[in-house]
Chain A
Amino acid sequence: MAGSRTPKRQGKIGLEWFSILLLLALWQVISMLVQHRLFPSPIVVFIEVYDLAREGLLFPDLAKTLSRAAAAFVVAMVAGIVIGSVLGRFRSLDGLFGNWVLIGLNIPAIVVAITFYIWFGLTEFALIIAVVVNKAPLVSVAMREGVRDLDYGLSELAHVYRVSFWQRVQKFIVPQLMPYVLTAARTGLSLIWKIVLVFEVLGSDGGVGFRIGLFFQHFDMKGILAYTVAFMAVVILFEYGVLRRLEHRVLGWRPAQS
């Protein structure tokens, strides 16, 4: 049943957490073998995380980056879902605009970022729009496939029983599209984290990427890894605290999920 944790599932989660510990152990061993200031051990890095947090740098930077990522994520998901649904539903529009999506998918992120920074200046707006332009095509492609894959038999069923429009959307269409939405959300999030950081290095007044850019100028690996670890901790917490729960709740009916 949705929400309950079977011993098998608990075992899988345990294994996943163990793999993170294993990665940290491997890092520790390699750092002990390398013995170089450019390859600090996880213990040193965790101490640096603590120090940076105490100095009041870490959390404001994290908050800034996360808020940018969140804003870009929401806008990109909404735009991508709308565009992808329309293209999936209307073949003629897909013929007309399909190549725009293809170009959007393949245009280098750095080009988009620089272009928007030149056009709009080093502003929050430019950064978020640049991320959205990079991410929305990915979502729209996933949604287009989802709409094309809608089960025609279920559409017939809804038709013969004269199911109302909203009931169709709620009970027949959205559940079929949710796997595509979640896949787009997961791949999109991983992309957005990375793009936001790169764009912050290019030009911003704060955030994880901005700070890593400063550390880079001093070859401060301790600081770079401290921010990376903190950022990855947030990403992992989001994965287990939000995405996995949502996935289990929404897709719990699928045999592979139960």
Chain B
Amino acid sequence: MATGAKLIADIKEKSFGEEALFDGLRFEVPAGQVVALIGPSGVGKSTLLRMIGGIDPDYEGDILIDDLVPADAEVPGFVFQDPRLLPWETALGNLLAVKPDLADDEGRQLLVNVGLDAAENLRPGELSGGMQRRVALARALAVSSRLLLLDEPFVSIDRKLARELQALVASVVDRLGLTVLLVTHDPYDAAVLADRVITLRGRPVRVVDDMALDTPRAARNADHVAAIVSELDRGMRE
């Protein structure tokens, strides 16, 4: 089993214009832990994920992935809110577009692993919304990173599909032992997937709660999840 990456985020300052978005925000994610960052829409969760992913380097402070800054660390697997597939490429082509040295067989296997057995030659326009999201997840796994960054991956899809994808992510993460940072505004996503939930709120953003979920993911039943959701809801409101 692969071991996930260790992540340290210590943001001294990050501003948009005159407004300070982050002004002293720190948290650590041990290797192999699945951490959900939850908070209301617009609080800055996605911005934080983009900073960790190396998309937004405009901040003061340190983000270290296995003691390396994002630009020097290994390429993370990144799943955006929208599938963000290249419409002119096939499902397999979308994997190869970000990982050109990926062997075709490996790519096919990744697609099979996310439940796309016969979709390698289909283009995004020929795939359902759920299948597109599966391709986006396979693409994130294609780079063989030990860090998986998920930015609201279950937003704007129906509940049934969201549950299927959550189960898929959980099985992949458990199998590969990845470190995962999941950004979501929905406590349910966190309750189903996370080992630990960090609640963000305010301006500048601060950590208002940091809760470890003791019951292992696989052992959580509907009652466990409902209880966690209730507690997270309360934490977000307080």
Contact = CB atoms under 8 A, between A and B. Distances in A.
Interface of A: 153-154, 156-164, 167, 171-172, 175, 253-255, 258
Given A159-B54, A160-B55, A161-B143, A167 B88 contact: no
Given A167-B97, A255-B125, A160 B88 contact: no
Contact of A154 (B76, B84, B125): B84
A167 B78 CA distance: 18
B125 A161 contact: no
Interface string B70-100: 0000011010101010111100000001111
- Give the interface centre of A157, A172, A258 by most chain B CB atoms within 10 Å: A157
A255 B53 CA distance: 33
B100 A154 contact: no
A241 B89 CA distance: 25
Contact of B97 (A156, A172, A253, A255): A172
A163 B50 CA distance: 16
A163 B84 contact: no
A161 B78 contact: yes
Given A171-B86, A175-B88, A253-B123, 12 more contacts: A154-B86, A156-B50, A156-B80, A160-B53, A160-B76, A161-B78, A161-B98, A162-B75, A167-B97, A175-B86, A253-B87, A253-B88
29 contacts: A153-B82, A153-B84, A154-B84, A154-B86, A156-B55, A156-B84, A157-B98, A158-B98, A159-B54, A160-B75, A160-B78, A161-B75, A161-B78, A161-B98, A161-B99, A162-B75, A163-B97, A163-B98, A167-B100, A171-B86, A171-B89, A172-B97, A175-B86, A175-B88, A253-B87, A253-B123, A253-B125, A254-B125, A258-B125
B86, B99, B123, B143, most chain A CB atoms within 10 A? B86
A162 B72 CA distance: 11
- Most chain A beta-carbon contacts within 10 A, residue among B53, B78, B98, B99: B98
Nearest to A153: B84
A171 B97 CA distance: 6
B180 to A, nearest CB: 16
Contacts of B82: 153
B204 to A, nearest CB: 24
A255 B123 CA distance: 11
B143 to A, nearest CB: 6
A234 B86 CA distance: 36
A172 B99 CA distance: 13
Contacts of A163: 97-98
Nearest to B74: A162
Contacts of B88: 175, 253
A160 B86 contact: no
Contact of A157 (B76, B80, B87, B99): B80
Nearest to B124: A253
Contacts of B50: 156
A56 B169 CA distance: 73
Interface hub of A171, A172, A258 (most chain B Cβ within 10 A): A171
A157 B84 contact: yes
Contacts of A164: 100
Contacts of B100: 164, 167
Contacts of B80: 153, 156-157
A104 B123 CA distance: 40
Contacts of A156: 50, 55, 80, 84
Contacts of B98: 157-158, 161, 163
